[in-house]
Structure 1
Amino acid sequence: MEGRRQLALQTVDLTAGFMVWVALSSLLPSIRQDIAIPAAQMGLVTAVPVVLGSILRVPMGYWAGLFGARTVFLASFAALIAPVWFLSEASTSADLLVGGVFLGIAGAVFSVGVTSLPKYFPSQRHGFVNGVYGFGNMGTALSTWLAPVAAAAIGWRGAMKLYLVLLGALVVLNLALGDRREPRVRTPILRQLRALAGDAQLWVLSLFYFVTFGAFVALTVYLPSFLTSHYGLGETSAGAATSAFVVVAATVRVLGGWLGDRLDCYRLLASAFAALALGAGMLAAAPGLPAYLAGVYLVGIACGIGNGAVFKLVPLRFAKHAGPANGIVSMMGGLGGFFPPLVLSASMSAFGTNAPGLAAFGVFATACLAAALVMQRRGSGRAA
């Protein structure tokens, strides 16, 4: 019973956290009407929340084991109040960069649930449980859909302040329903990191999550502005199209975790990377909006399957050092979301098209496909 309650609560926590994490990119088309943002800084403004949101995932995972999910979620949501208020009052691009960095706290909470929730369930269900928790990625869809609507009604500053209401509600909810008696892991973090450092499988999984979750984050933050500037969509339409991408990826993530409980995870990952390579090719070659969106949603499906499979394997293989292991793998996923928007922006500036950047991503996905097949032949990805 407690496990189900914590799964529901922490999935809501992740959803809210991811809503806040992409608040800046979701409102950027409206913000640009008030604040001049140099073209060279556009990719940076959307990418900076990913940096802290990635780096903090390692200590967040450790703290979740040491203090419990309730304490870490509470502290995180409380800490976000100041930067969200600051962004609502921003007047320069420098303000957006500074406030955006601290929004990364919201993205870092991912490693809290994947560390906490497996404690409540048998290993045969870890893929599905982490997949359900990962459905909280839907928070990015809610922001990209609702934030432009709110901005149209009350202005982007008012829309940003609505996130303060959300944060306050989550503080109260975790105070009331968080588990005060969650089992704790008190092994010092340096001892855990030393035990993990030489484990090749950890770094292979980190690479895979760098690609699958990185592609998800990158498209989530890149699509609203790109669909508006390149295809001429309105802010609401671009937000709806991006939200559809997130819904697809988040929903399929549950399926990916469920399949990971039953199938060889590395074979599953190989299929995901094949689809990612195909999707990247479609995006690079798409002559019009319908074909481009078809490629986007294929990438979303592949990301969801890949993300679910990776987080079946992490708690299965690293149960003794779950917090730091979850933090390292999820950090690499977050960093994977930082680089593609910058690469695509650079490709557009240098060549007038993002096709070279997308082609490079397709090659990278193909290399991961080969690595997954190697791991599959070693027989280290079978479901428990």
Structure 2
Amino acid sequence: MSKSSFNIFSFSGKMKTLHLSWMAFFITFAVWFNFAPLLHAVKESLGLTTEEIKTLLILNVAITIPARVIVGSLTDRYGPRAVYSALLALCAIPCFAFALSETFIQAAIARFALGFIGAGFVIGIRLVSEWFPHNELGTAEGIYGGWGNFGSAAAAFTLPTIALMFGGEDGWRYAMALTGVISLVFAFIFYVNITDTPKGSTYFKPANLTAMEVTSKGDFFLLLLMKIPMYAALALLAWKLSPANIDMISITVTYAIYAGLFTLYLYEWSQVWKVNKSIFTTPVPEMHQYKFKQVAVLNILYFATFGSELAVVSMLPLFFLDTFELTPVMAGMVASAYAFMNLVSRPGGGWISDKFGRKSTLIILTAGLALGYLLMAQIDGGWTLWVAVAAAMLCSFFVQAGEGAVFATVPLIKRRMTGQIAGMTGAYGNVGAVVYLTVLSFVDYQTFFYVIAVTAFGGLVTLLFMTEPKGQIAEVNEDGSVTMIDVGSH
């Protein structure tokens, strides 16, 4: 844990780690969301239908749900330096493949594989938690998340211009390939400049890579319960691609996916049992216990915060276009105000959490988020445009500050499992996006905002069960000695 001062303009020690981390995350988001701003050009160039474009957008987020869980586990085992560098380098391949695609099937496979880069976020959560003390952790994680998240907005602003600079109907290919080149180059920069922990600190690894450890019988069943929505969201995506919806895959393939997901869930049961069966016979010493309910509450809150952000960002330009009869360019610019808030909101949420406590901050921000979406549901053509934009920005402050506060708490639960916990919580954000966007395909905008508000109120209720992290958590060194890590004021 680095004890030097928190100076955002410094580029040495822990601050260098923070800056390189958000840059890596920024690049992963620019690559992951390089499709949306060039959507029209891709549609024209490859001769795609609107349904095929929608399918590509769904495929873009599909694999991210399991990817975040897998990458979280790999980070805990092999360290953020190696895993982030590998992810940046390997994901350049499907990025180039998409830029070179000539048919819908080629584009679909590349886009599906590219969803893996959306897992980069969870790696930095573990890395930043190794370098910053608990009283600065929320601010540091907020800067990492907020500034990195801005990669999607940066892609939206710059890629259409870059495509025009290259010119011709292949301009979009060069613009996308450029994001792949940046990702590949930064993989080497990151690997050369990062260490997993400050000098002299131990990088604690979980005993198992295949399943999360729990420390009580009740937590064993809660973990299995909390796994179900992740499989359900993937089943929902399969249903959206089935003949019942956009008819991209046959009914046989749909049922094969359902069967595969069910089999995978049963396999996960077996792994959770294998890792945790000892708790049914031998109680875990109190010093090494942690409460899985903390993870469950954070999962639900991230479902409502990041899940709604992903969903709203993809529908907001259209919402403003339809409600206020704007031009597509104007609607895009107005809607981008929502994403812009990330630069300050997410670090702000983390900072408030550092200063005023994790639980109270989450309660206030979640309540604000629920009320914010209730306000959004009232917007109609009778509103003045700037008032509607102000309402969207107010709502987005609570959403993104809530994300910052969630990930200010994640690293304080069990250090050696931070990647796994961040992976599961991050995956729940994507589950939320899938659920909300599916809801949107059946209802009007007002109902969509009401649905998010209701789930946020549900998150508020679960917060009553959360315990404020305080005191210390114990981690065992390889030689058997125990290190105590501060997680909050006593």
Matching residue of 1:78: 89
Matching residue of 1:279: 372
TM-superposed CA distance for 1:140, in Å, is: 1.2
- Write out aligned runs for 1:59-74 (5 A): 59-74=70-85
Q: 1:324-357 CA deviation, whole Å, 9 max, x = no partner?
A: 111111111122222322321332xxxxx32222
TM-superposed CA distance for 1:191, in Å, is: 5.8
Structure 1 residues 74-83 or 288-297, which shifts more? 288-297
Alignment of 1:354 with 2:441, yes or no, is no
TM-superposed CA distance for 1:251, in Å, is: 1.7
- Write out aligned runs for 1:108-147 (5 A): 108-135=119-146, 136-147=148-159
- Residues 10 and 133 in structure 1, CA contact (< 8 A), matched pair in contact too: yes
Q: Which has the larger radius of gyration?
A: 2
Instruction: Give the structure-1-normalised TM-score.
Output: 0.88
Paired AA for residue 336 in structure 2: S
- Residues 274 and 365 in structure 1, CA contact (< 8 A), matched pair in contact too: yes
Q: 1:86-132 CA deviation, whole Å, 9 max, x = no partner?
A: 22133444444322212212210100011122111212221111111
Paired AA for residue 356 in structure 1: T
Distance 1:258 1:337 in 2: 26
TM-superposed CA distance for 1:207, in Å, is: 0.5
Alignment of 1:14 with 2:31, yes or no, is no
- Residues 131 and 197 in structure 2, CA contact (< 8 A), matched pair in contact too: no
Task: State which of 390, 393, 396 in structure 2 corresponds to 1:297.
Answer: 393
Task: State which of 453, 456, 462 in structure 2 corresponds to 1:365.
Answer: 456
**Moved runs in structure 1, 4+ residues, more than 6 A?**
none
Paired AA for residue 48 in structure 1: L
- Residues 139 and 348 in structure 2, CA contact (< 8 A), matched pair in contact too: yes
TM-superposed CA distance for 1:36, in Å, is: 4.8
Give the 3 Å change call, closer, same or farther, for CA 176–227 of structure 1 in structure 2. farther
Give the 3 Å change call, closer, same or farther, for CA 270–43 of structure 1 in structure 2. farther
Q: 1:122-179 CA deviation, whole Å, 9 max, x = no partner?
A: 1222111111111211111111221222234433222212212211321231132122
Q: Secondary structure at the match of 2:468?
A: coil
Matching residue of 2:277: none
Alignment of 1:185 with 2:205, yes or no, is yes
Structure 1 residues 268-277 or 360-369, which shifts more? 268-277
Q: Secondary structure at the match of 2:356?
A: coil
Aligned residues: 376
Give the 3 Å change call, closer, same or farther, for CA 79–226 of structure 1 in structure 2. farther
Paired AA for residue 257 in structure 1: G
Matching residue of 1:212: 305
Paired AA for residue 20 in structure 1: V
Give the 3 Å change call, closer, same or farther, for CA 266–90 of structure 1 in structure 2. same
Give the 3 Å change call, closer, same or farther, for CA 379–207 of structure 1 in structure 2. closer
Structure 1 residues 29-38 or 320-329, which shifts more? 29-38
Structure 1 residues 270-279 or 30-39, which shifts more? 30-39
Give the 3 Å change call, closer, same or farther, for CA 359–38 of structure 1 in structure 2. farther
Matching residue of 2:404: 308
Matching residue of 2:184: 168
TM-superposed CA distance for 1:13, in Å, is: 0.3
Distance 1:328 1:291 in 2: 37
Matching residue of 1:326: 422
Where relative contact order (Cα < 8 A, 6+ residues apart) is larger, the structure is: 1
Give the 3 Å change call, closer, same or farther, for CA 275–45 of structure 1 in structure 2. farther
Paired AA for residue 171 in structure 1: A
Instruction: Give the structure-2-normalised TM-score.
Output: 0.70
- Residues 193 and 324 in structure 1, CA contact (< 8 A), matched pair in contact too: no
- Residues 26 and 221 in structure 1, CA contact (< 8 A), matched pair in contact too: no
Distance 1:150 1:225 in 2: 24
Q: Secondary structure at the match of 1:33?
A: helix
Unaligned runs of 5+ in 2: 1-11, 223-291, 471-487
Paired AA for residue 31 in structure 1: V
TM-superposed CA distance for 1:239, in Å, is: 4.1
TM-superposed CA distance for 1:272, in Å, is: 2.1
Give the 3 Å change call, closer, same or farther, for CA 108–123 of structure 1 in structure 2. same
Paired AA for residue 359 in structure 2: Y
RMSD in angstroms over aligned alpha carbons? 2.6
Paired AA for residue 173 in structure 1: I
Give the 3 Å change call, closer, same or farther, for CA 174–312 of structure 1 in structure 2. same
Percent identical pairs in the alignment equals 25
Matching residue of 2:37: 26
